[in-house]
Amino acid sequence: MTPVQALVLALVQGITEFLPISSSAHLILAPYLFGWRDQGLAFDIATNTGTLLAVVAYFRRDLAELVRGLWAAVRGREAGTVEGMPPLRLLWALAIGTVPVGVAGLLAADWVSTAGRSPALIATTSIVFGLALGWADRAGARRRDLADLRLRDALLVGLAQAVALVPGTSRSGITMTAALALGFDRPASARFSFLLAIPVGILATLYDLAQIARGEIPAGDLLPMTIGVVASAAAAYLVIGALLAWLRRQTMTPFVIYRVLLGAVILALLWL
């Protein structure tokens, strides 16, 4: 992989990771369309590390409040709230929402890195889950904010997140779909989806570090992976802020349309 290819793919990842349009689909399709060799799962994980750094940086104040609140609770003092929630409840919500994808990832890792990277599958999931997002955006009550989040809600969103291991589904898209279907408003759905990206990103980064420690990543891949981390982090940070601002006043409709058109174009190219 050349540095230019690494930069292009990192920007694709950074831009699409938090938009509900599936970053994994775009990372798989970009080499397919440009005639590049598939970058492989290791590079995908490197760019995921970059987006993890971006979401941690963006929500750094919330995370700091979470740590302070937990410390205060341990000491028997007033813990305050984070995103309108008691720190312990938010921590439990994030943990419960992460367990399903962790288990599914262990069980389906081989399939995701091989058969799961099929363009036909990506086209299908892009359309199906795009339409599901459109339905939830229109049918959801949109009356709940993060202060109303319960552990049952976190589990249901987490189960939806596990489905996002199928390329083309979109982790952010399906978690927002689940939250909207549960009656949360658009900004709350997006914020919880983004916060859930932190523990998931940590798991992916630990997996990446384990590969490096075992020497399974060639030394020549380290420069492209470094570019992937830095460029995806910068792009993702900007996208998080832009999407949250968009959802305060607009709908998910443009993303639904994009996903359906993307899936249709992929299917058309496969049939030609």
pLDDT tens digit at each of 272 positions of the chain: 788 999 999 999 999 999 999 887 887 788 878 888 877 666 777 888 899 999 999 999 999 988 888 888 777 776 677 778 888 889 999 999 999 998 988 787 677 666 667 888 899 999 999 999 999 999 999 999 999 999 999 999 999 999 998 888 999 999 999 999 999 999 999 999 999 999 988 887 787 667 666 665 555 577 888 899 999 999 999 999 999 999 999 999 999 999 999 999 989 988 87
The answer, as to whether pTM is greater than 0.85, is: yes
Is the separation of the CB atoms in 60 and 22 below 8 Å?
no
Tell me the three state secondary structure of residue 25. helix
pLDDT number for residue 270: 85
Phi then psi dihedrals of residue 112, to 5 deg: -60, -40
18: closest CA among 229, 250, 208, 175?
175
Give me the pLDDT at residue 115, please: 63
Dihedral of alpha carbons 129, 135, 138, 142, sign: negative
* Per-residue DSSP letter, 37: P
- Dihedral (Cα; 138, 13, 244, 98), 10-degree rounding: 80
Q: pLDDT at position 203, please?
A: 83
The confidence score (pLDDT) of residue 193 equals: 96
pLDDT of residue 40: 66
Question: d(Cα 74, Cα 272) in Å, to the nearest integer?
Answer: 63
Structure tokens at 201: 């990103």
Q: Cα–Cα distance between 72 and 75 in angstroms, integer?
A: 5
